[in-house]
Amino acid sequence: MSAEDPQVDQSRRDLIEEFRRKRIGRHSPDLRLLLNRMRMSEGKRPYILICTKPHREWCLGRKSGARGSEIEVMPEVIFHSPEEAEWEIFKRRWQELTGETLT
């Protein structure tokens, strides 16, 4: 996706803050639409969370798209809660869609 994606309104900083505050659970209708758009844009390479130590540690992975194929494991960053990992995925998706890096 390009930075000119018409379905992602970069001015909606309120949606970024809403997700930052509540990464898991019920979201507003506008945030749900944004999250769905972000997930659809991943095409055949969606991000997934991989639990490396039950209830204590996670890393990211990406599916390759083909059923039964290997998952690309991204062990360079370790998370200690699913919420931390979800924020990282949000930031990566945002950058892929808009070209903007969130901190």
Question: pLDDT (tens digit, 9 = 90+) per residue, 23-77?
Answer: 999 999 999 999 999 988 776 788 999 999 999 999 999 988 777 888 999 989 8
Q: pTM higher than 0.75, yes or no?
A: yes
Q: How far apart are the C-alpha atoms of 95 and 80, rounded to whole Å?
A: 23
Q: Is 8 left (phi over 0), alpha (psi -120 to 50) or beta?
A: beta
Does residue 2 sit within a domain? no
Q: How far apart are the C-alpha atoms of 23 and 42, rounded to whole Å?
A: 19
Phi, psi of 70, deg, nearest 5: -70, 155
Does residue 64 sit within a domain? yes
Does residue 39 sit within a domain? yes
Does residue 4 sit within a domain? no
Does residue 79 sit within a domain? yes
Does residue 103 sit within a domain? no
Cα three-residue angle 7-19-80, rounded to 5 degrees: 130
The domain total for the chain is 1
Does residue 89 sit within a domain? yes
**Domain membership of residue 40 as a residue range:** 13-98
C-alpha 65: how far from chain center: 17
